[in-house]
Structure 1
Amino acid sequence: MLIKALIIDDERPARAELKKLLHDFPAIEIVGEAQNSKEAVEKINELDPDLIFLDIQMPGKNGFEMLSELVQTPKVIFTTAYDEYALKAFEVNALDYLQKPIESKRLEEAMRKLEQSQSSNKETRIDKNLLTDKDQFFVKDGEKCWFVKLADVRLFESAGNYAKVYFENQKPLILKSLNALEERLDERFFFRVNRKHIVNLKWIEKIEPYFNGGLLLELRDGEKVEVSRRQSVKFKEMMSL
């Protein structure tokens, strides 16, 4: 199975050198290139790559800022001449980090990691436009960055044009509205329980009757979320209650 890859780097020679090195890996299909963050976001949305090789330091928005604009994040291998970014890249759980000039041996190690990642995360998607609990996205909150698996997100909470993301002991804000998230999240995994919240169905521990015909959900972490009266009807049908 071919892995669709996009190379994002503002330097043409660097893109050409990486393409040359990737010729030794026939499973990688290079579907495009981008030389800045704006072009990268457009190409990612258009080409839907499985993997991106991403230079961190670019004119305008850097690689971390570019990732924070995406709703869904492909697998990422960072490529950069600046080793000071290495620790940060691994803090956000990137697939790998390659320092320029890229050595063929290090690229081979990265490809092995990619192969292991692919074999442990196979899924047949019904609709590629919808995000399931197998997908991940990038969160940047100040100096902190994470790749977050949607399976680990128990709750999204509306905060105007932003949404608060609840995972582990973190609650960072992302620049996406709850309505925009609802359009992209697969209802088999995520449900809009009221005007302010979307819940990960797999995190529900208890369901109780609540005021005025609604329901009260208790999540595995002990958090309680109300299901509105209107959404309770739909929720009961969906959950066969």
Structure 2
Amino acid sequence: MPTAIIADDERLMRDQLRSRLEQAWPELQILDEAKNGEEAVQLVAQHHPDLVFLDIRMPIKTGLEAAKEIGSQTHIVFITAYDQYAIQAFEHGAVDYVLKPADLERLGKTIERLKARLQAQAQPADMSQLLGQLAKQMGIASRPAYLQWIQASIGQELRLIPVEEILFFQSDEKYTRVQTSNYEALIRKPVRDLAEELDPALFWQIHRSTLVNAKAISGVVRDLRGRHLVQIKGSTEKLEVSRSFVHLFKQM
């Protein structure tokens, strides 16, 4: 049985595509689903599917960035709501696409082409040229390379800490505190420099001296003085939000 992974940051879109695929291609086995490009890369490495359906615009990593990392590991089908320049690029490449919302008739044509490629045991397409063309035509600029690790001191030990494990950074006059769920470390780099080197979608600056991992935020409360305080998951710690950054939490 052919296998696939679906990657889209919208749950409704993932559900709809899965439903349409079950109707049009019942033999296809959906192994897993991803909510962003980074998860898609990880799931492809884990499951080695025949196909991956990638939404072009996703958080953390876009579909184009994920496709670049996935390379020739699997056949890629892009999911897009943009049916102008993107489709022109797809039609001239060896990569297929699905329009949002997935239409059964159009999806059927995609499936027939995919079946033919799988049956012929064709190699996944080299997409280096196509990805650059798509990024340019759709206005998706290449993202800078954000920090993935922090080198920090814990006593006499020097440790490399993955940024995803860090709950928050907090600076004083000399050092910046690096707090994880298990331990605290110190670095000399100030928050103002870290703010430029970390992914702003993952780390939010809430104070001139504080950066917090958005995934570690459990809520925001106001104290008796009217200050906004960020609550950290699994911790009693509360981090003050300065007036300049209160707007980040207006919808929470």
Q: What TM-score, normalized by structure 1, do the two folds share?
A: 0.50
Rg larger for = 2
